[in-house]
């Protein structure tokens, strides 16, 4: 079983196929961390837990002066109890005190994995080898109870953590901080990997050596943000893509977060992750509980590449849900970069006609279809069709698109409101703003207060009415500004510090109601591109628009960085026109197609302007993607060449059966007299042979992985000169044939 307990010594073993996570109750009180790493078959706990007393350290046990909480590796450290390192829990009681002393009380083991109340989380299905350990600790003097939940996905090598905090007293308790996970390591010999960026430049990996003190990332923007991503990895200094220890922490939450590591006086490291304590305070009333979001933790000794593949598997199979979780996604065309706001029904149907000719399967109508939306200054919140542009309404347009054999999708921005809108004129207090101050706009819009039930109900009803009446097949759910001026007109002065988290709970409720009521609709999340690319969104929507930057060269970096935590099949990726609208770069059609084709594939341009040659190229790209999507979404990813470290970006996919393989390589810049470039494949079955579909050449797995493949060996790209050139190979494993011998 994945959870074992030594009741005599109160030692808890959480075991996956390849890893162990071990805890012990020390001194009969404190739940301490002993080990997390490669699976151990036998341990001696006294050798795993070591500490020594320091001058000026408080000693909670008067009989043992070497014992101090300031060095003890606690599973859930609290503020004010002589541990001066970063606490996971900070409280304030009715008498003004802040001290919480959590002592172990009990445990229980649960088959499977309970759902988290009102929050997204990974889940178990019937037949999964998943077990949950719930450990209860309490401060009986204050009446605070803390339930630490650990769920073990044994076959996936995944451990998840979350915390439920219960007020058993008769007075309010204020939570000033409530993290989801804290893990102590007895070493500081790590690098920390984070995914940082900006709008149009999301999730660039940064790897830095740990130093003394705190190193943190986070967001207080009301969303996980373009600037930081709720993911960190701790890597041994010699860890590479293929070898070495790697520890991952990923936060299943879409709002304000913090993650980081503190290196202390004894060169030990404490990793932590949770809701950001800035702009957070929670009034925990008597008898009520507070549930933290989930942290998904992964360890492997097989390098950063295997860490990513484990995250990809758990998120594809046990975080994403619904009809499209395991299905290939339809090829779509979105009109945004093709027309922006300047369109009418005739233009959209002309694009639909061309899409049908090309084999594209869905047309998505983006911003500008509702209210009187001729630019971004009005109408958000007025979710009804603009009859000037669409005389037959959304229902008529959807019917016309369906008659052409296409699915029909629609853009919404349900969380926002424009000052120039009927909704704002009727309910000016529904936006997040401070009374008496002029509301601040960003992109000419404000944020609806989803901490209020009546606002959530309006959004659910307005969006559902369109989906129900028009037969919508796809929704692009956008969010184009972050929260400022934190104040809710629906809450009193003592509840304003709860706004950010209550907003997220309201948003999750809205999405859950709309999505569960429309199970056949494919939903894609978006936030000015990749500003909310996080596991919380993937629980509701199986794909996310990766970035508003559609330039193929930029997308090499963005999608490569995103792949450290998220599978390619969750990345919305489109071919757009050139010169590109964001960076004005010109890249070849093949490169644009190859880069986009590894994600949720589509086009972001005006199809009616294609030349005869371009029409032929698009037809072939669509046909190729339809073949690839039969196996590519469930394939394992191997990163081969890091574009952040050289002139090439290369990656490959190996199907679940191991019988198919796709290799992509992008040369970023052409240079004179360039040396021969070889890339070394991974993940193939040794002893097998593979045939290149494009060239017909046959290779052994060992040759491809250890001797390498020359980049110039490409039968699909006759012009191999120039910048941003894409090379692709498709391989099929050659089946061994039985030879029948006969005697002559």
* Calpha distance 118→507 (Å, rounded): 10
> What integer pLDDT is reported at residue 697 of this predicted model?
94
Does 599 have pLDDT greater than 70? yes
Characterize the bridge pairing of strands 600-604 and 332-334: parallel
| Number of C-beta neighbours around residue 267 at 10 A | 13
The residues, ordered by sequence, that sit 6+ positions from 509 with a Cβ below 8 Å of its Cβ are 118, 456
The pair of structure tokens assigned to 630 is 């039969």
Greater pLDDT, 710 or 54? 710
Measure the CA–CA gap between 267 and 221, rounded to whole angstroms.
Answer: 33
Mean pLDDT (whole number) for 678-698: 95
The percent of residues above 70 in pLDDT, for the chain, comes to 96
Does residue 404 form part of some domain? yes
Residue 241 lies in a domain: yes
In the listed set 293, 318, 343, which residue is the last one of a domain according to the structure?
A: 318
Both 117 and 265 in one domain: the answer is yes
- Please tell me the predicted confidence (pLDDT) of residue 302: 98
Q: Is the pLDDT of residue 49 over 80?
A: no
Side-chain-side CA neighbours of 671 within 13 Å: the count stands at 11
Task: Quote the CA–CA distance of 667 and 646 in Å, as a whole number.
Answer: 9
Is 23 exposed, middle or buried, given 0-12, 13-18 or 19+ CB atoms closer than 10 A? buried
What confidence score (pLDDT) does residue 64 get?
Answer: 72
Within-domain flag for 22: no
CA distance 559 to 328: 19
Residue 182 has pLDDT above 90, yes or no: yes
Q: Is the pLDDT of residue 56 over 80?
A: no
Total number of residues shown for the chain: 744
Where helices occur in 361-481 by DSSP H, the ranges are 393-403, 422-426, 453-470
* 3-class secondary structure, 2: coil
**Residue 548 catalytic?**
yes
Residue 284 neighbours by CB under 8 Å, 6+ apart: 165, 167, 172, 173, 174, 175, 290
What angle in degrees, to the nearest 10, is found between the helix axes of 612-628 and 589-597? 20
Do 479 and 606 lie in a common domain?
yes
Identify the burial level of 234 via C-beta atoms within 10 angstroms of its C-beta, where 0-12 means exposed, 13-18 middle and 19 or more buried: buried
- Tell me which of 634, 669, 702 is where a domain ends: 634
Residue 10, in any domain of the structure: no
Measured CA to CA, the distance from residue 307 to residue 567 in angstroms comes to 12
Distance, CA of 278 to CA of 281 (rounded, Å): 8
Res 45 pLDDT > 80: no
| pLDDT at residue 438, rounded to an integer | 87
Residues 253, 227 share a domain: yes
Rounded to 10 degrees, the C-alpha dihedral 172/176/180/183 comes to -120
657: exposed, middle or buried (Cβ count in 10 Å: 0-12, 13-18, 19+): exposed
The answer to whether residues 291 and 352 belong to one domain is: no
Residue 742's pLDDT is what? 42
What is the Cα–Cα distance from 202 to 564, expressed in whole angstroms? 13
Instruction: Tell whether the model's pLDDT for residue 533 goes beyond 80.
Output: yes
From 587, 607, 634, give the residue that closes a domain. Answer: 634
- Structural domain includes residue 36: no
d(CA 241, CA 248): 14
Per-residue pLDDT for 550 more than 70? yes
Which has the closest alpha carbon to 490: 435, 437, 570? 435
644 and 617, same structural domain?
no
Query: Residue 583: what pLDDT?
Result: 96
pLDDT at 327 over 80: yes
Distance CA 573, CA 549 (A): 10
Is residue 421 domain-resident? yes
- The pLDDT of residue 494 is 83
Within-domain flag for 15: no
Same domain, yes or no: 174 and 214: yes
Q: Is the pLDDT of residue 253 over 80?
A: yes
The CATH number covering residue 302 comes to 2.70.98.60
Judgement on whether residues 586 and 661 belong to the same structural domain of the protein: no
* CATH number assigned to the domain comprising residue 578: 3.20.20.70
CA angle 513, 548, 486 (to 5 degrees): 55
The answer to whether residues 209 and 178 belong to one domain is yes
Find the distance separating the first CA and the last CA of the chain, reported in whole Å.
59
pLDDT at 741: 42
**Residue pLDDT, tens place only, 254-272:** 999 999 999 999 899 999 9
What pLDDT was estimated at residue 736? 67
204 inside domain: yes
DSSP secondary structure code for residue 624 in this structure: H
CATH code of the domain containing 666: 2.60.40.1180
Give Cα 67 distance to the centre of its chain.
41
In the DSSP assignment, the letter for residue 585 is -
Q: What is the pLDDT of residues 234-252, one digit of tens each?
A: 999 999 999 999 999 999 9
Domain membership of residue 131 as a residue range:
83-152+161-318
Same domain, 293 and 229: yes
Query: 298 and 406: one domain?
Result: no
The predicted pLDDT at position 720 comes to 66
Is residue 532 over pLDDT 70? Answer: yes
Task: Answer yes or no: do 647 and 618 share one domain.
Answer: no
Catalytic residue among 157, 245, 367, 478: 478
pLDDT digits (tens, 9 = 90+) for 623-636: 999 999 999 999 99
DSSP-derived secondary structure for 19-63? EEEEEEEETTTEEEEEEEEE--S---HHHH------TT---S-TT
List strand residue ranges (DSSP E) for 227-356, in order. Answer: 228-236, 246-252, 257-263, 269-274, 282-284, 289-291, 294-300, 332-334
- The beta-strand segments (E) located in 645-735 are 648-654, 660-667, 678-679, 689-692, 698-700, 709-710, 725-733
DSSP-based three-state secondary structure for 432: coil
The burial class, CB within 10 Å (0-12 / 13-18 / 19+), for 372 is middle
| Nearest C-alpha neighbor of 582 from the set 553, 619, 621, 615 | 553
Beta pairing partners, 179 = 274
- How many domains does one find in the chain? 3
pLDDT, one tens digit per residue, over 717-743 is: 545 678 899 999 999 999 764 434 444
Rounded-to-integer distance, Cα 638 and Cα 655, Å: 11
CA distance 146 to 134: 10
> Is 184 designated active site?
no
Measured CA to CA, the distance from residue 236 to residue 619 in angstroms comes to: 46
Helices (H), 517-588: 535-540, 552-562
Catalytic residue among 548, 549, 551, 594: 548
What pLDDT does residue 55 have?
A: 55
**Arithmetic mean of pLDDT over the chain:** 94
pLDDT of residue 590: 96
Specify whether 587 is located in the same domain as 486.
yes
CA angle 18–23–28, rounded 5-degree value: 165
The two most distant CA atoms of the chain are separated, in Å, by 102
């Amino acid at each position: 079983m994945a959870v074992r307990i030594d009741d005599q010594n109160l030692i808890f073993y959480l075991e996956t196929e390849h890893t162990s996570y071990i805890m012990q109750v020390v001194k009969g009180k404190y739940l301490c961390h002993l080990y997390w790493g490669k699976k151990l078959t036998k341990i001696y706990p006294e050798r795993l837990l070591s500490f020594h007393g320091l001058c000026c350290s408080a000693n909670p046990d008067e009989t043992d002066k070497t014992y101090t909480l300031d060095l003890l590796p606690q599973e859930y450290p609290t503020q004010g109890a002589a541990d001066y390192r970063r606490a996971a829990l900070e409280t304030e009681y009715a008498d003004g005190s802040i001290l919480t002393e959590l002592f172990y009380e009990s445990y229980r083991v649960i088959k499977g994995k309970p759902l988290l109340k009102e929050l997204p989380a990974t889940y178990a299905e019937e037949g999964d080898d998943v077990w949950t350990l719930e450990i209860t600790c309490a401060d009986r003097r204050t009446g605070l109870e803390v339930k630490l939940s650990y769920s073990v996905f044994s076959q996936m090598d995944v451990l998840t953590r979350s915390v439920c905090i219960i007020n058993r007293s008769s007075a309010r308790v204020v939570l000033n901080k409530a993290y989801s996970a804290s893990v102590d390591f007895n070493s500081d010999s790590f690098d920390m990997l984070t995914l940082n960026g900006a709008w149009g430049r999301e999730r660039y990996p940064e790897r830095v050596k740990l130093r003394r003190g705190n190193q943190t990332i986070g967001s207080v923007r009301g969303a996980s943000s373009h600037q930081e991503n709720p993911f960190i990895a701790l890597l041994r200094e010699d860890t590479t893509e293929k070898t070495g220890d790697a520890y991952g922490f990923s936060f299943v939450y879409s709002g304000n977060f913090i993650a980081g590591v503190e290196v202390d006086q004894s060169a030990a490291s404490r990793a932590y992750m949770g809701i950001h304590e800035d702009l957070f305070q929670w009034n925990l009333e008597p008898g009520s509980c507070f549930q933290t979001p989930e942290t998904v933790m992964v360890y492997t000794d097989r390098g950063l590449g295997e860490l990513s593949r484990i995250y990809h598997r758990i998120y594809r199979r046990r975080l994403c849900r619904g009809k499209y979780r395991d299905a290939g996604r339809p090829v779509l065309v979105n009109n945004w970069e093709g027309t922006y706001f300047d369109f009418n029904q005739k233009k959209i149907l002309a694009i639909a006609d061309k899409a049908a000719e090309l084999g594209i399967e869905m047309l998505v109508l983006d911003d500008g279809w509702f209210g009187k939306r001729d630019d971004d200054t009005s109408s958000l919140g007025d979710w009804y069709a603009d009859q000037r542009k669409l005389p037959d309404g959304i229902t008529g347009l959807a019917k016309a698109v369906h008659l052409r054999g296409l699915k029909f999708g629609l853009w919404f921005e349900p969380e926002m409101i424009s000052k120039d809108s009927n909704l704002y004129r009727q309910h000016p207090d529904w936006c997040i703003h401070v009374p008496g101050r002029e509301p601040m706009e960003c992109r000419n819009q404000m944020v609806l207060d989803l901490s209020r039930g009546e606002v959530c109900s309006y959004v659910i009803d307005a969006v559902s009415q369109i989906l129900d009446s028009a037969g919508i097949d796809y929704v692009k759910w956008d969010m184009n500004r972050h929260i400022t001026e934190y104040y809710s007109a629906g809450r009193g002065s003592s509840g304003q510090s709860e706004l950010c988290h209550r907003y997220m709970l309201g948003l999750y409720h809205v999405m859950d109601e709309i999505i569960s009521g429309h199970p056949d609709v494919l939903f894609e999340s978006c936030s000015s591109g990749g500003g909310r690319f996080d596991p919380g969104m993937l629980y509701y929507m199986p794909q996310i628009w990766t970035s508003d930057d559609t330039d193929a060269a930029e997308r090499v970096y963005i999608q490569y960085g995103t792949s450290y935590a998220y599978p390619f099949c969750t990345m919305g990726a489109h071919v757009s026109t050139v010169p590109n609208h964001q960076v004005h770069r010109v890249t070849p059609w093949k490169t644009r197609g190859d880069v986009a084709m590894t994600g949720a594939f589509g086009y972001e341009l005006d199809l009616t302007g294609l030349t005869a040659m371009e029409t032929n190229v698009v037809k072939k790209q669509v046909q190729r993607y339809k073949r690839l999507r039969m196996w590519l979404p469930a394939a394992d990813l191997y990163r081969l060449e890091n574009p952040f470290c050289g002139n090439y970006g290369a990656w490959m996919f190996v199907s679940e059966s191991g019988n198919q393989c796709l290799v992509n390589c992008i040369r970023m810049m052409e240079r004179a007299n360039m040396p021969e470039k070889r890339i070394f494949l991974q993940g193939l079955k040794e002893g097998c042979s593979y045939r290149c579909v494009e060239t017909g050449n046959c290779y052994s797995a060992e040759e491809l992985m250890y001797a390498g493949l020359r980049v110039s060996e490409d039968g699909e790209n006759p012009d191999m000169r120039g910048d941003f050139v894409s090379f692709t190979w498709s391989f099929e494993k050659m089946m061994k044939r039985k030879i029948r011998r006969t005697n002559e």
